[in-house]
Structure 1
Protein backbone atom coordinates (compact mmCIF):
# COMPACT_ATOMS: atom_id res chain seq x y z
CA UNK A 1 0.00 0.00 0.00
CA UNK A 2 1.15 3.47 -0.86
CA UNK A 3 0.91 5.75 2.14
CA UNK A 4 0.36 9.48 1.92
CA UNK A 5 2.33 11.91 4.03
CA UNK A 6 0.82 15.04 5.55
CA UNK A 7 2.84 17.21 3.13
CA UNK A 8 1.56 15.21 0.14
CA UNK A 9 -2.01 15.55 1.41
CA UNK A 10 -1.62 19.30 1.85
CA UNK A 11 -0.04 19.79 -1.60
CA UNK A 12 -2.75 17.73 -3.30
CA UNK A 13 -5.51 19.51 -1.35
CA UNK A 14 -4.10 22.83 -2.57
CA UNK A 15 -4.05 21.51 -6.17
CA UNK A 16 -7.66 20.37 -5.74
CA UNK A 17 -8.57 23.85 -4.45
CA UNK A 18 -7.06 25.48 -7.57
CA UNK A 19 -9.31 23.34 -9.77
CA UNK A 20 -12.30 24.21 -7.57
CA UNK A 21 -11.52 27.91 -7.88
CA UNK A 22 -11.34 27.61 -11.69
CA UNK A 23 -14.73 25.88 -11.66
CA UNK A 24 -16.17 28.24 -9.05
CA UNK A 25 -17.84 25.46 -7.09
CA UNK A 26 -17.21 26.69 -3.55
CA UNK A 27 -14.59 24.46 -1.91
CA UNK A 28 -12.39 26.26 0.64
CA UNK A 29 -9.19 25.34 2.43
CA UNK A 30 -9.63 25.80 6.18
CA UNK A 31 -6.37 26.48 8.01
CA UNK A 32 -6.64 26.40 11.81
CA UNK A 33 -2.92 27.06 12.32
CA UNK A 34 0.43 25.98 10.88
CA UNK A 35 0.63 22.78 12.94
CA UNK A 36 0.25 19.39 11.29
CA UNK A 37 -2.47 18.35 10.37
CA UNK A 38 -4.62 21.43 11.09
CA UNK A 39 -5.77 22.12 7.53
CA UNK A 40 -8.66 20.56 5.63
CA UNK A 41 -10.91 21.05 2.61
CA UNK A 42 -14.47 22.19 3.28
CA UNK A 43 -17.61 22.21 1.14
CA UNK A 44 -21.29 22.88 1.93
CA UNK A 45 -24.45 22.05 0.04
CA UNK A 46 -28.16 21.66 0.59
CA UNK A 47 -29.84 18.39 -0.31
CA UNK A 48 -33.45 17.24 -0.42
CA UNK A 49 -34.10 13.87 1.13
CA UNK A 50 -36.68 11.66 2.77
CA UNK A 51 -35.74 11.59 6.42
CA UNK A 52 -38.79 9.61 7.52
CA UNK A 53 -41.25 7.13 6.05
CA UNK A 54 -44.06 9.67 5.61
CA UNK A 55 -42.75 10.57 2.13
CA UNK A 56 -42.17 14.26 2.89
CA UNK A 57 -38.96 15.77 1.58
CA UNK A 58 -36.71 17.60 4.03
CA UNK A 59 -34.06 20.15 3.19
CA UNK A 60 -30.74 19.34 4.86
CA UNK A 61 -27.58 21.42 4.93
CA UNK A 62 -24.48 19.24 4.73
CA UNK A 63 -20.94 20.42 5.47
CA UNK A 64 -18.21 18.09 4.20
CA UNK A 65 -14.59 18.10 5.40
CA UNK A 66 -11.71 16.25 3.77
CA UNK A 67 -9.09 15.81 6.49
CA UNK A 68 -5.84 13.91 6.80
CA UNK A 69 -6.00 10.75 8.89
CA UNK A 70 -2.75 10.55 10.83
CA UNK A 71 -3.47 6.97 11.88
CA UNK A 72 -4.21 5.63 8.39
CA UNK A 73 -2.16 8.17 6.39
CA UNK A 74 -4.97 8.74 3.88
CA UNK A 75 -7.63 11.37 3.20
CA UNK A 76 -10.76 10.97 5.30
CA UNK A 77 -14.29 12.29 4.66
CA UNK A 78 -16.17 13.77 7.59
CA UNK A 79 -19.50 15.59 7.48
CA UNK A 80 -22.30 17.10 9.53
CA UNK A 81 -25.91 17.29 8.39
CA UNK A 82 -28.36 19.82 9.82
CA UNK A 83 -32.09 20.15 9.29
CA UNK A 84 -33.48 23.52 8.22
CA UNK A 85 -34.31 24.28 11.88
CA UNK A 86 -30.60 23.91 12.74
CA UNK A 87 -30.88 20.58 14.55
CA UNK A 88 -28.16 18.05 13.87
CA UNK A 89 -29.02 14.65 12.39
CA UNK A 90 -28.13 11.91 14.86
CA UNK A 91 -26.38 8.71 13.78
CA UNK A 92 -29.56 6.74 13.02
CA UNK A 93 -31.10 9.60 11.01
CA UNK A 94 -27.84 9.98 9.09
CA UNK A 95 -27.87 6.28 8.24
CA UNK A 96 -31.49 6.56 6.99
CA UNK A 97 -30.70 9.59 4.82
CA UNK A 98 -27.30 8.65 3.41
CA UNK A 99 -27.19 4.84 3.48
CA UNK A 100 -30.76 3.52 3.42
CA UNK A 101 -29.88 0.39 1.43
CA UNK A 102 -27.01 -0.74 3.67
CA UNK A 103 -27.54 -3.66 6.03
CA UNK A 104 -27.64 -2.44 9.63
CA UNK A 105 -24.86 -4.81 10.70
CA UNK A 106 -22.49 -3.14 8.19
CA UNK A 107 -23.27 0.47 9.05
CA UNK A 108 -20.90 0.82 12.02
CA UNK A 109 -18.02 -0.37 9.84
CA UNK A 110 -18.76 2.21 7.15
CA UNK A 111 -20.31 5.33 8.64
CA UNK A 112 -19.69 6.23 12.24
CA UNK A 113 -19.53 9.21 14.53
CA UNK A 114 -16.10 10.45 15.58
CA UNK A 115 -14.37 13.57 16.87
CA UNK A 116 -13.10 15.87 14.13
CA UNK A 117 -9.26 15.74 14.29
CA UNK A 118 -8.93 19.53 13.91
CA UNK A 119 -12.12 21.00 15.37
CA UNK A 120 -12.61 18.40 18.16
CA UNK A 121 -16.39 18.25 17.66
CA UNK A 122 -18.50 15.22 16.74
CA UNK A 123 -18.78 14.57 12.99
CA UNK A 124 -19.95 11.64 10.91
CA UNK A 125 -17.11 9.87 9.15
CA UNK A 126 -16.64 7.31 6.43
CA UNK A 127 -14.21 4.93 8.10
CA UNK A 128 -10.71 5.15 6.53
CA UNK A 129 -9.52 1.61 7.26
CA UNK A 130 -9.62 0.45 3.61
CA UNK A 131 -9.02 3.77 1.85
CA UNK A 132 -5.37 3.04 1.03
CA UNK A 133 -6.34 -0.31 -0.54
CA UNK A 134 -9.10 1.30 -2.59
CA UNK A 135 -6.79 4.06 -3.86
CA UNK A 136 -4.10 1.49 -4.71
CA UNK A 137 -6.47 -0.51 -6.93
CA UNK A 138 -5.98 1.94 -9.78
CA UNK A 139 -2.62 0.47 -10.80
CA UNK A 140 -0.73 3.60 -11.73
CA UNK A 141 -1.00 6.01 -8.79
CA UNK A 142 -3.32 8.95 -9.28
CA UNK A 143 -1.76 12.36 -9.87
CA UNK A 144 -4.03 13.70 -7.15
CA UNK A 145 -5.16 11.14 -4.60
CA UNK A 146 -7.30 13.72 -2.79
CA UNK A 147 -9.31 14.27 -5.98
CA UNK A 148 -9.53 10.52 -6.58
CA UNK A 149 -10.63 9.97 -2.98
CA UNK A 150 -13.43 12.57 -3.14
CA UNK A 151 -14.58 11.17 -6.51
CA UNK A 152 -14.80 7.65 -5.08
CA UNK A 153 -16.09 8.25 -1.56
CA UNK A 154 -18.18 11.39 -1.99
CA UNK A 155 -21.11 9.81 -3.87
CA UNK A 156 -21.77 7.53 -0.86
CA UNK A 157 -22.85 10.63 1.08
CA UNK A 158 -24.35 12.62 -1.82
CA UNK A 159 -21.19 14.61 -2.53
CA UNK A 160 -20.77 14.74 -6.31
CA UNK A 161 -17.89 16.40 -8.14
CA UNK A 162 -18.41 18.00 -11.54
CA UNK A 163 -17.03 15.98 -14.46
CA UNK A 164 -14.76 18.94 -15.21
CA UNK A 165 -12.50 17.85 -12.33
CA UNK A 166 -11.48 14.84 -14.43
CA UNK A 167 -10.61 17.06 -17.39
CA UNK A 168 -8.33 19.48 -15.56
CA UNK A 169 -4.56 19.25 -15.70
Structure 2
Protein backbone atom coordinates (compact mmCIF):
# COMPACT_ATOMS: atom_id res chain seq x y z
CA UNK A 1 0.00 0.00 0.00
CA UNK A 2 1.25 3.50 -0.68
CA UNK A 3 1.50 3.60 -4.44
CA UNK A 4 -1.56 3.69 -6.68
CA UNK A 5 -2.43 2.81 -10.23
CA UNK A 6 -4.11 5.50 -12.32
CA UNK A 7 -7.45 3.66 -12.08
CA UNK A 8 -7.18 3.43 -8.28
CA UNK A 9 -6.37 7.13 -8.06
CA UNK A 10 -9.30 8.03 -10.30
CA UNK A 11 -11.72 5.84 -8.33
CA UNK A 12 -10.54 7.26 -5.00
CA UNK A 13 -10.61 10.85 -6.31
CA UNK A 14 -14.24 10.29 -7.37
CA UNK A 15 -15.03 8.88 -3.91
CA UNK A 16 -13.39 11.90 -2.29
CA UNK A 17 -15.44 14.18 -4.53
CA UNK A 18 -18.64 12.37 -3.48
CA UNK A 19 -17.78 12.97 0.18
CA UNK A 20 -17.10 16.62 -0.63
CA UNK A 21 -20.52 16.92 -2.25
CA UNK A 22 -22.24 15.29 0.74
CA UNK A 23 -20.49 17.77 3.06
CA UNK A 24 -21.26 20.77 0.86
CA UNK A 25 -17.56 21.45 0.36
CA UNK A 26 -16.24 23.25 -2.72
CA UNK A 27 -14.03 20.57 -4.30
CA UNK A 28 -14.33 20.10 -8.08
CA UNK A 29 -13.43 16.98 -10.05
CA UNK A 30 -11.78 18.55 -13.11
CA UNK A 31 -11.49 16.43 -16.25
CA UNK A 32 -9.40 17.91 -19.05
CA UNK A 33 -10.29 15.05 -21.40
CA UNK A 34 -10.83 11.30 -21.23
CA UNK A 35 -7.14 10.44 -21.62
CA UNK A 36 -5.40 9.22 -18.47
CA UNK A 37 -4.15 10.87 -16.27
CA UNK A 38 -6.08 14.06 -17.14
CA UNK A 39 -8.51 14.22 -14.21
CA UNK A 40 -7.71 15.94 -10.92
CA UNK A 41 -9.32 17.40 -7.80
CA UNK A 42 -9.41 21.17 -7.41
CA UNK A 43 -10.37 23.68 -4.71
CA UNK A 44 -9.71 27.38 -4.08
CA UNK A 45 -9.54 29.32 -0.84
CA UNK A 46 -8.40 32.69 0.43
CA UNK A 47 -5.54 32.91 2.94
CA UNK A 48 -4.54 36.02 4.84
CA UNK A 49 -0.88 36.93 4.67
CA UNK A 50 0.83 39.98 6.19
CA UNK A 51 -0.40 42.42 3.53
CA UNK A 52 -3.64 41.15 2.02
CA UNK A 53 -5.71 38.13 1.06
CA UNK A 54 -4.11 35.56 -1.20
CA UNK A 55 -6.26 33.33 -3.39
CA UNK A 56 -4.81 29.82 -3.51
CA UNK A 57 -5.93 27.18 -5.99
CA UNK A 58 -5.00 23.61 -5.04
CA UNK A 59 -4.91 20.63 -7.42
CA UNK A 60 -4.53 16.99 -6.39
CA UNK A 61 -3.20 15.15 -9.43
CA UNK A 62 -1.79 11.73 -10.20
CA UNK A 63 1.98 11.44 -10.50
CA UNK A 64 2.70 8.88 -13.20
CA UNK A 65 6.39 8.73 -12.22
CA UNK A 66 5.82 8.14 -8.51
CA UNK A 67 2.38 6.48 -8.72
CA UNK A 68 1.00 8.61 -5.87
CA UNK A 69 -1.26 11.63 -5.45
CA UNK A 70 0.57 14.93 -5.76
CA UNK A 71 -0.42 18.41 -4.55
CA UNK A 72 0.02 21.40 -6.88
CA UNK A 73 -0.96 24.97 -6.09
CA UNK A 74 -0.97 28.51 -7.43
CA UNK A 75 -1.25 31.58 -5.22
CA UNK A 76 -2.41 34.99 -6.47
CA UNK A 77 -2.46 38.34 -4.69
CA UNK A 78 -5.74 40.27 -4.53
CA UNK A 79 -4.63 42.28 -7.60
CA UNK A 80 -4.36 39.01 -9.58
CA UNK A 81 -0.56 38.86 -9.72
CA UNK A 82 1.03 35.46 -9.14
CA UNK A 83 3.19 34.93 -6.06
CA UNK A 84 6.74 33.91 -6.93
CA UNK A 85 8.52 30.99 -5.28
CA UNK A 86 10.01 33.06 -2.45
CA UNK A 87 6.63 34.63 -1.61
CA UNK A 88 4.98 31.17 -1.56
CA UNK A 89 7.70 29.87 0.75
CA UNK A 90 7.13 32.87 3.05
CA UNK A 91 3.38 32.26 3.02
CA UNK A 92 3.45 28.52 3.74
CA UNK A 93 6.84 27.61 5.20
CA UNK A 94 8.48 30.66 6.82
CA UNK A 95 10.24 28.53 9.46
CA UNK A 96 11.79 26.04 7.03
CA UNK A 97 15.50 26.15 6.23
CA UNK A 98 15.88 27.62 2.73
CA UNK A 99 18.18 24.77 1.64
CA UNK A 100 15.41 22.25 2.41
CA UNK A 101 12.62 24.15 0.67
CA UNK A 102 13.51 23.03 -2.87
CA UNK A 103 13.07 19.42 -1.72
CA UNK A 104 9.66 20.17 -0.20
CA UNK A 105 7.87 22.88 -2.19
CA UNK A 106 9.16 23.72 -5.61
CA UNK A 107 8.01 24.97 -8.97
CA UNK A 108 7.31 22.50 -11.79
CA UNK A 109 4.98 22.05 -14.72
CA UNK A 110 1.49 20.83 -13.90
CA UNK A 111 1.21 17.34 -15.49
CA UNK A 112 -2.27 18.01 -16.90
CA UNK A 113 -2.32 21.75 -17.62
CA UNK A 114 1.36 22.02 -18.71
CA UNK A 115 2.04 25.35 -17.04
CA UNK A 116 4.12 26.28 -13.99
CA UNK A 117 2.64 25.55 -10.56
CA UNK A 118 4.13 25.13 -7.11
CA UNK A 119 4.19 21.50 -5.99
CA UNK A 120 4.87 19.48 -2.88
CA UNK A 121 7.52 17.04 -4.02
CA UNK A 122 6.19 13.44 -4.19
CA UNK A 123 9.43 11.53 -3.58
CA UNK A 124 8.43 10.25 -0.12
CA UNK A 125 4.65 10.15 -0.47
CA UNK A 126 4.39 6.37 -1.00
CA UNK A 127 6.63 5.79 2.02
CA UNK A 128 4.53 8.14 4.18
CA UNK A 129 1.25 6.52 3.08
CA UNK A 130 2.66 3.05 3.89
CA UNK A 131 3.45 4.05 7.49
CA UNK A 132 -0.13 3.62 8.64
CA UNK A 133 -0.80 0.27 10.28
CA UNK A 134 -4.30 -0.18 8.86
CA UNK A 135 -4.23 0.77 5.17
CA UNK A 136 -6.60 3.53 4.18
CA UNK A 137 -9.44 2.61 1.85
CA UNK A 138 -8.99 6.03 0.26
CA UNK A 139 -5.36 7.05 -0.06
CA UNK A 140 -6.34 10.30 -1.83
CA UNK A 141 -8.25 11.36 1.29
CA UNK A 142 -5.36 10.28 3.52
CA UNK A 143 -2.89 12.15 1.30
CA UNK A 144 -4.87 15.41 1.43
CA UNK A 145 -5.30 15.05 5.20
CA UNK A 146 -1.55 14.62 5.70
CA UNK A 147 -0.06 16.96 3.09
CA UNK A 148 -2.72 19.68 2.86
CA UNK A 149 -2.00 21.30 6.24
CA UNK A 150 1.59 21.99 5.13
CA UNK A 151 0.11 24.53 2.69
CA UNK A 152 -2.90 25.62 4.80
CA UNK A 153 -5.32 23.22 3.09
CA UNK A 154 -7.41 21.74 5.88
CA UNK A 155 -10.27 19.26 5.57
CA UNK A 156 -13.33 19.18 7.79
CA UNK A 157 -13.16 16.41 10.40
CA UNK A 158 -16.29 14.98 8.81
CA UNK A 159 -14.15 13.63 5.93
CA UNK A 160 -12.63 11.14 8.35
CA UNK A 161 -16.08 10.07 9.50
CA UNK A 162 -17.18 9.01 6.02
CA UNK A 163 -16.79 5.33 6.92
CA UNK A 164 -17.92 4.18 3.49
CA UNK A 165 -14.53 5.28 2.07
CA UNK A 166 -12.11 5.45 5.01
TM bucket (normalised to shorter chain) is: over 0.9
Residues 2 and 125 in structure 2, CA contact (< 8 A), matched pair in contact too: no
Cα deviation 1:36-62 (Å, max 9, x = unaligned): 100000000011112xxxxxx310000
CA distance in 2, matches of 1:96, 1:47: 13
Alignment deviations for residues 62-81 of structure 1 (CA, whole Å, 9 cap, x no partner): 00000000000000000000
* Structure 2 gaps, min length 5: none
Match of 1:66 among 41, 44, 60: 60
Q: Distance in 2 between matches of 1:25 and 1:81?
A: 20
Aligned to 2:160: 166
Q: Provide the alpha-carbon RMSD of the alignment.
A: 0.8
Q: Return 5+ residue gaps in structure 1 as ranges.
A: 51-56
- Aligned equivalents of 1:92, 1:37: Cα separation in 2: 30
TM (norm. structure 2) is 0.96
Match of 1:113 among 83, 104, 107: 107
Task: Give the TM-score of the pair, scaled to structure 1.
Answer: 0.95
CA distance in 1, matches of 2:151, 2:4: 23
Give the Å deviation of 1:140.
Answer: 2.0
Where in structure 1 do 4 or more consecutive aligned residues deviate above 2 Å? none
Helix, strand or coil: the match of 1:119?
coil
Q: Give the deviation of 1:2 after TM superposition.
A: 3.8
1:31 alignment partner in structure 2: 31
Deviation at 1:117, TM superposition (A): 0.3
Q: How does 1:13-32 map to 2 (within 5 A)?
A: 13-32=13-32
Q: Deviations over 1:114-165 (max 9, x none)?
A: 0000000100000000000000000221010000000000000000000000
Taking the TM superposition and a 5 Å limit, the aligned residue runs for 1:11-160 are 11-50=11-50, 57-160=51-154
